[in-house]
Structure formats: C-alpha cells, structure tokens
Amino acid sequence: MEADGELPVRLRLSPWCEPHMTDAEVDELIAMQGRGGRRYRIEGIKLFIDGTVEGGTAWLATPDSEDEGLASTWPDAETYAARIRRFHAHGVPTATHAIGERGIRVVAETLAGLPAGGPQHRIEHLESVEDDVIALIGRSGIAASMQPTHCTHHVRPDGSDDWSRRLGRTRAERAWRTGDVRRSGAILALGSDWPVAGFDPWEIMADARARRPVAQPAAEPVRPDQGLTALEALEGYTTHAHRAIGAEGGRLVPGAPADLVIVDRDPLVATPEELLGTRVLLTMVEGAATAGAA
C-alpha cells in the first residue's frame, strides 16, 4: 500500500502474544518493535486474558447463569504475568483484552505490580469491573480502552439481554463504568472494537454521554450515572487516546503534528443528538489533505 503512495492514516500495529508461544517466539515479538514505514509502525503487544460474556468465556469470579465463565485464556495467571514482566522490562507497551471481573482484576493487579517508569500498558473492554479494581487502575497509571456502544447497543435497562442474563443483576449493574473509570483518574480511550461493531466516532461519543442509543430517540439509558461529559468524550478520541499508548497528541497546539479533521459543528457544544449529524469537511495528515467531505 505504501509503495503506491502515502497511507491516508497512521497505522500502529500490535502483534498478538498467545499463551502457547515459546520464549524464542516472544523474543521475535520484541525484536519486531519499531519496524515500519513512513506512516505505519509495529508498536506494542496484544494479549487476551479471556473471551466474551455471551460466549461463556469471560473470566468471572463466580459462574454465570449457564455455569460457565471460570477459565482464563492463559493456563495460569503467573504465566501471563511473566510475559507482561518480560515485555515491560524491554520497554514494550501491552494491551490486554479483559472482560470478566476476575480477568480484569488479574490484569490490573499484574500491571500495578510492575516497576515504575516503564511503558504505558492498557486494559481493553472492562465490561463488568468492581470498585476496588477501578480504584487500583486509577492510582496505578493504567490506561483503559472502552467501547460505549457495546453497552448502549447490546444491553437493555431491564436486564433481558443475554449479557445481563448471564451475569445476573449485581454484575450487570456494573456495565461499562466509563464515568467511574474517568473519575478514578485513569486514562480512558474510547473506541468501537471495529469490525466487531460500527466505527462511527460521533455515534460513540454521543452514546458515551447519553448512555443510550442516541439514534433511537425512545430508548432508555443504561446506567446514566456513567455518562461522560462532552469534554471527556472528546478526550477519549483525542488526548486520552494518545496517552493510552504512551504518546503525546490529539491537541491543536503549535509544533504538534497536523493530523486533524475539520467538522461542521463544535462537539463540546453540540447535544448528543446533534453529534450524530456531524459532517467531516476536511481530513489532514501531516498538514496535507487526505480526504474531503464525508
């Protein structure tokens, strides 16, 4: 792709570290770091501590309603922790998929126990997480990457959806606690988990604020106390998105890379409903236009 011209976006690629990998294969992942081209770069490692709630493979503290959810993707927590420590020692940032409360706890405790001053690590998804773990994430400098529309599109306030049914009322009431994560002082990047879900950032920011599918006017909110402010939602796609990978960016200041979009409304003033109609008038990467209206 790059041989045909400049890539229209910057790409950051994080290869997957799987439980069965040997030490030699892990060394190869470390050696890959920093390779790339003009607008793409291999940086970071992706890991999975568990699967999904609906599939019965999220790592839970107690079984779900189908008597599932007690296993990790890794054979044991120490094996996972040893890999994380190795990456940390080599300055390699990691991102771990963790959805169930047991999986999230193990990942948070592993990351919190690392020596200070290393690369930025983050946890992906955090679908149902306990109070003390959120506090640990906030005070330990761990980044969270969450997907608001996973909640607003697939969870119902009455608990009749499969996700809520499997977890039960107590755990379902901890659904996607974006507000509590931000209030803990943690870095909070927002995203879509595309191609699993739609990637429209305006819809995601709108739903993050309203805690309901804004495109459906009659829909009831899910845990409205977890809604983000307009600024927090925008930061989730700009400054906090960069901070979640240990980078500086997402700001319009002299000397910053001119990677930006020009839109037809102010996302800090627009209501969630107005955000849905946002039009991109111009996209720029390194100060050069890459696309027109979208």
pLDDT given for residue 12 in this prediction: 96
Instruction: Please tell me the distance from the alpha carbon of residue 195 to that of residue 209, in angstroms, as a whole number.
Output: 22
- 3-class DSSP state of 191: coil
pLDDT given for residue 27 in this prediction: 98
The pairing of strands 187-190 and 143-146 is parallel
- Say if 58 falls within a structural domain: yes
- Say if 112 falls within a structural domain: yes
Residues of the chain with pLDDT under 70: 291-294
pLDDT given for residue 9 in this prediction: 86
Give ∠ CA 246-250-253 in degrees, rounded to 5. Answer: 115
pLDDT given for residue 292 in this prediction: 54
- Say if 263 falls within a structural domain: no
Structural Rg of the chain based on CA atoms: 19
User: What are 263's strand-pairing partners?
Assistant: 280
pLDDT given for residue 81 in this prediction: 98
pLDDT given for residue 294 in this prediction: 46
- Say if 135 falls within a structural domain: yes
Instruction: Please tell me the distance from the alpha carbon of residue 128 to that of residue 179, in angstroms, as a whole number.
Output: 13
Number of compact structural domains in the chain: 1
Q: Provide the 8-state DSSP code for 290.
A: E
The total number of residues written for the chain in this structure: 294
* Residue partners of 218: CB distance under 8 A and separation at least 6: none
Instruction: Please tell me the distance from the alpha carbon of residue 70 to that of residue 252, in angstroms, as a whole number.
Output: 46
Closest CA to 42 of 60, 52, 30, 58: 30
- Say if 294 falls within a structural domain: no
- Say if 11 falls within a structural domain: yes
Q: DSSP states of 143-188 as a string? A: EEEE-HHHHHHH--TTS-SHHHHHH-HHHHTTBT-HHHHHHTT-EE
Cβ burial, residue 291 (10 Å; 0-12/13-18/19+): middle
Amino acid at 78: E
Query: What is the number of H-type helices and E-type strands within the chain?
Result: 12, 10
Host domain of residue 80: 2-255
- Say if 98 falls within a structural domain: yes
pLDDT given for residue 1 in this prediction: 76
- Say if 290 falls within a structural domain: no
Cβ burial, residue 101 (10 Å; 0-12/13-18/19+): buried
The pairing of strands 280-285 and 260-263 is antiparallel
Instruction: Please tell me the distance from the alpha carbon of residue 133 to that of residue 186, in angstroms, as a whole number.
Output: 11
pLDDT given for residue 259 in this prediction: 92
Look up the CATH number of the domain holding residue 131.
3.20.20.140
Cα distances from 241 to residues 87, 176, 221, 286, in angstroms, run 21, 17, 25, 18
Peptide bond into 195 cis (omega under 30): yes
pLDDT given for residue 5 in this prediction: 82
